């Protein structure tokens, strides 16, 4: 393998160059945040008035979208309190972006144009989770509610039926869909409602399908993206139902309500070290974490 730090530098330069050409504005938002998102979601920092290290960039980035900055992005550090492993680190790098008026298919196209040049041996595919659910369980989420999908999905993977649907859905997708992406680059789309991205927009004309995607490359998530729900009540209700409504999301919604931020936005995030690992044919991010001795 070539020098991993040079590989990372090349990836970052490529991402910035494309976004510059697409008229995105690069921003820097606070790493240390006021909001405590609850147990296990953020690492605390011993700073003035108490702060928590961000686990994701998105909310503070979204409030910077405006008529003069309709497309923004940031590349910066994020932190997780859980123990590290081959694909997770206590400190890692994310690219997050937000854009006003960007449609869902255009968002998928942008995602591949960003990461595709670093994955030359892969051709992108799309797999609809809603179609899979229809074929596997006979429930058409485009026209029907979730119904009894929760206990049936739990039974399929041997999960406790009392486990929250959000967790059952995540495990089911990992076992039944992500595991089948060996040697492939697959955009998983049409996620059911009730998962861990409640801010995603309900797909027009559907009952329980979200405009959300994840790009899975050789079994590993590299990119996630979604269009934002423009119905604030629907967003709040869905987020509260899965215990993912927090102060930072409220700040973003307040900005939308005040007319400072457009409601029709879309965002995506890319794990930089994971992209570097995939481009080098590796299944661990450790070589791409700089200066670990500190």
This prediction has a pTM of: 0.94
Q: CA 179 → CA 89, 131, 169, 186, distances in Å?
A: 22, 17, 14, 11
Structural domains of the chain in order of their starting residue, each with its CATH number = 4-288 (3.30.930.10)
pLDDT in tens, 124-180: 999 999 999 999 999 999 999 999 999 999 999 999 989 999 999 999 999 999 999
pLDDT per residue as tens digits for the range 118-127: 999 999 999 9
pLDDT at 107 over 80: yes
* Strand ranges across the sheet with 265-271: 25-26, 71-79, 91-100, 265-271, 220-227, 212-217, 185-189, 124-128
Write out the two tokens for 121.
């041996």
User: How high is the pLDDT of residue 122?
Assistant: 97
Q: What is the pLDDT of residues 49-94, one digit of tens each?
A: 778 888 888 888 999 999 999 999 999 999 988 889 999 999 999 9
Residue with tokens 């697959």: 186
Q: Give the tens place of pLDDT for each residue, 10-60.
A: 999 999 999 999 999 999 999 988 877 766 677 788 778 778 888 888 888
């Amino acid at each position: 393998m070539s020098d991993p730090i040079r590989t990372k530098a090349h990836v970052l330069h490529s991402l910035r160059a494309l976004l510059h050409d697409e008229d995105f504005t690069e921003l820097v938002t606070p790493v240390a945040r006021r909001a405590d998102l609850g147990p296990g979601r953020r690492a605390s920092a011993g700073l003035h008035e108490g702060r928590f290290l961000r686990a994701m960039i998105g909310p503070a980035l979204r409030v910077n979208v405006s008529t003069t900055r309709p497309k923004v992005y940031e590349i910066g550090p994020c932190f997780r309190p859980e123990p590290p492993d081959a694909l997770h680190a206590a400190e890692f790098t994310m690219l997050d972006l937000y854009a006003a008026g960007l449609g869902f298919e255009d968002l998928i196209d942008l995602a591949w144009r960003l990461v595709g040049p670093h994955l030359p041996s892969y051709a992108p595919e799309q797999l609809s989770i809603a179609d899979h659910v229809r074929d596997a369980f006979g429930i058409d989420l485009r026209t029907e509610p979730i119904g009894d999908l929760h206990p049936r999905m739990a039974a399929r993977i041997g999960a406790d039926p009392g486990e929250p649907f959000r967790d059952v859905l995540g495990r089911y997708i990992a076992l039944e869909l992500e595991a089948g992406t060996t040697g492939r680059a697959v955009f998983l789309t049409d996620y059911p409602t009730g998962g861990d991205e409640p801010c995603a927009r309900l797909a027009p004309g559907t009952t329980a399908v979200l405009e959300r995607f994840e790009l899975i490359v050789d079994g590993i998530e590299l990119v996630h993206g979604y269009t934002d729900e423009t119905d604030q009540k629907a967003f709040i209700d869905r987020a509260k139902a899965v215990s993912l409504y927090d102060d930072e999301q409220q700040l973003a919604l307040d900005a939308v309500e005040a007319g400072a931020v457009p409601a029709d936005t879309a965002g995506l995030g890319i794990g930089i070290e994971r992209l570097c690992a995939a481009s080098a044919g590796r299944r661990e991010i450790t070589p791409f974490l700089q200066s670990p001795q500190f």
